[in-house]
Amino acid sequence: MYSGWRCPLINPVCRVVESLPVELVSFNGSKLVDSRLIAQEIEIEHRALMQLIVRYKNDIESKFGQLTFKMEVAKSRNGAGNPSKYTFLTEDQTFFVVSLSRNTYVSNGSI
């Protein structure tokens, strides 16, 4: 769970984000979470989450700070690899991105 994070508003998105069972990474005094874990927990494809992040990159960065994108090559059995882009998000960035995602977990009122 997001221990140590605060919930700025009492709303469904806030309750969803705080209930996500993902690990935080501490970097330069900030608590960050991997975008791949967020996608997994809100039950959308990581590719779709990254498209959302890229689409709203300017808004995210102007309101909540810079995003840093990383690349990882997942190797297959034959040694070939496909590069995969991901990012680490702060608490505020996570709230913003999750609020933008259209998934049944958030939108069907089952929170």
| Cα-trace Rg, the chain | 14
- Cβ atoms within 10 Å of 38's Cβ, excluding its own: 24
- The tens digit of pLDDT for each residue in 63-106 reads 999 998 888 876 666 666 777 899 999 988 998 998 888 754 44
Q: Is the pLDDT of residue 51 over 50?
A: yes
Query: What percentage of the chain reaches a pLDDT higher than 70?
Result: 59
Domain boundaries, given as residue ranges, for the chain:
12-107
Residue 24: name the closest of 102, 99, 77, 88 by CA: 88
The pTM of this model reads 0.67
